[in-house]
């Protein structure tokens, strides 16, 4: 199901830089002139490339694959630094700044010297703001002590997995999936079990498929539910979530990790995405993960949280206390402002702009031969079109040739458990989207 490292190797090797007409990355950056160094016998010189056969890596790494999105993004930045104009739709990062209130709060925190450690689980002000926001918008009530603030939602997801799962356990991961989910499960020593969904269903989980998967995996301990979905943009509505909850009532040993980082980017149902913890009988077994990167464009501030029943929240806090301790104090001050000083209308305006971008991309894709989006995405800022008629369904080769010939960077769907597709992030300007769609259309026409 997972894309092999071949795509990454092809992209990152020095030979392929040369084949694109780009200079390979420098192997020695910022080195002091040799004249300023004492002469040292060659035999005594050490370098980072010196092999040490005696040091063995953790065998677990053999089953862990690096993030394709991050690696492609890194390659794009390298190519751009070398003077090449690359159009990139590979990273899910809003193209607008955080709200002014957020920026002002960060500046004020710096000026006030608010730069010390906070409690491991976050400042009291931020945890209270999170509790109030979840109660107001989602109808779920937590105590501040049941909230753990982390360095981004990604850390919170991983710690949630670690808190529940270990060797011998199975974790249900619906596909298409965010590539980090299966790898986090593997890092915890557990086994990811892929629950396939269908494009014709909007890549949503059906209650029948969930029950079948649970019946076939009696060792299942956790279901990861990303709603809205990265990479599909699919949104499970209230009715579907209630259907899934009804199935899960028959499997009380299964916890749910609800990754709701995109929940404020929804284009239907008046922009409302229900919390899974609010479903009947699900609160006591659900870990709700959210953060500030997507709706508030605070990606670089690395701020997320998990809200969970007391037992699970304490376990997650214990793990975090031994990994990173607290999130950054400046980011936390900005997070308080995001939840208490930014009006809903300001965020709603950004959602409308994002919806316009989605509609533009869908219209352009509809005009391209043999490119299919069975069900339009209703949330997040991704489209996952089927392009399986090109390159014999080899989406990695398609993306490689697209980058080579048109300098357009997209992520192959295979890395999301969706072979034959490509993920397009429309979280950029309309001008950039036009350039990208023009490049993609020209490329596909040339390869029909």
pLDDT tens track for 350-408? 999 999 999 999 999 999 999 999 999 999 999 999 999 999 999 989 998 999 899 99
- The pTM score is 0.86
Nearest by Cα to 149 from 285, 5, 304: 304
356, 367 Cβ separation under 8 angstroms: no
Distance CA 162, CA 164 (A): 6
Who's near 43: CB < 8 A, 6+ residues apart? none
Output the pLDDT for position 34: 39
Q: Which long-range contacts (CB under 8 A, 24 or more apart) does 188-191 make?
A: 188/158, 188/161, 188/162, 189/60, 189/165, 190/161, 190/165, 190/166, 190/221, 190/222
Q: What's the mean pLDDT when you consider all of the chain?
A: 90
- Give me the pLDDT at residue 11, please: 43
ω into 6 cis (within 30 of 0): no
The pLDDT assigned to 59 comes to 86
Low-confidence stretches of the chain (pLDDT < 70) are: 1-52, 68-69
Say what percent of the chain tops pLDDT 70: 88
């Amino acid at each position: 199901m997972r894309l092999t490292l071949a795509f990454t190797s092809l992209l990152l090797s020095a030979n392929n830089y040369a084949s694109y007409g780009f200079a390979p990355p420098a192997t020695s950056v910022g080195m002091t002139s040799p004249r300023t160094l004492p002469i040292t016998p060659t035999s005594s010189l050490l370098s980072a490339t010196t092999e040490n056969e005696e040091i063995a890596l953790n065998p677990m790494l053999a089953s862990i694959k690096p993030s394709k999105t991050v690696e492609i993004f890194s390659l794009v930045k390298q190519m751009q630094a070398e003077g090449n104009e690359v159009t990139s739709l590979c990273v899910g990062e809003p193209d607008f700044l955080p709200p002014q209130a957020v920026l002002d709060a960060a500046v004020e925190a710096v000026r006030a010297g608010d730069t010390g450690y906070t409690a491991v689980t976050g400042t009291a002000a931020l945890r209270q703001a999170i509790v109030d926001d979840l109660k107001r918008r989602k109808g779920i009530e937590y105590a501040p002590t049941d909230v753990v603030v982390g360095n981004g939602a990604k850390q919170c997801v991983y710690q949630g997995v670690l808190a529940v799962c270990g060797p011998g356990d199975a974790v249900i991961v619906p596909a298409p999936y965010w590539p980090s989910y299966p790898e986090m499960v593997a890092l915890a020593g557990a086994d990811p079990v892929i629950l396939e969904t269908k494009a014709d269903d909007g890549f949503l989980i059906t209650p029948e498929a969930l029950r079948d998967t649970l019946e076939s995996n009696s060792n299942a301990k956790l279901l990861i539910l990303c709603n809205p979905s990265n990479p599909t943009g699919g949104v499970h509505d209230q009715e579907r979530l209630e259907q899934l909850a009804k199935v899960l009532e028959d499997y009380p040993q299964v916890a749910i990790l609800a990754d709701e980082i995109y929940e404020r980017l929804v284009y239907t149902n008046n922009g409302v995405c229900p919390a899974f913890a609010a479903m009947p009988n699900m609160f006591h077994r659900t870990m709700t993960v959210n953060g500030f990167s997507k709706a508030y464009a605070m990606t670089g501030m690395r701020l997320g949280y998990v809200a969970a029943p007391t037992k699970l929240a304490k376990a997650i806090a214990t793990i975090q206390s031994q990994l990173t301790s607290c999130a950054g104090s400046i980011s936390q001050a900005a997070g308080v402002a995001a939840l208490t000083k930014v009006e809903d209308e300001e965020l709603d305006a950004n959602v409308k702009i994002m919806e316009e971008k989605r509609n533009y991309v869908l219209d352009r894709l509809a005009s391209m031969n043999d490119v299919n989006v069975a069900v339009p995405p209703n949330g997040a800022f991704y489209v996952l079109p089927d392009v399986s008629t090109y390159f014999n369904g080899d989406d990695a080769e398609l993306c490689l040739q697209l980058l080579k010939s048109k300098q357009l960077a997209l992520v192959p769907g295979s890395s999301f458990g969706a072979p034959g597709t490509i993920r397009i992030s429309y979280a950029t300007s309309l001008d950039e989207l036009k350039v990208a769609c023009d490049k993609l259309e020209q490329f596909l026409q040339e390869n029909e």
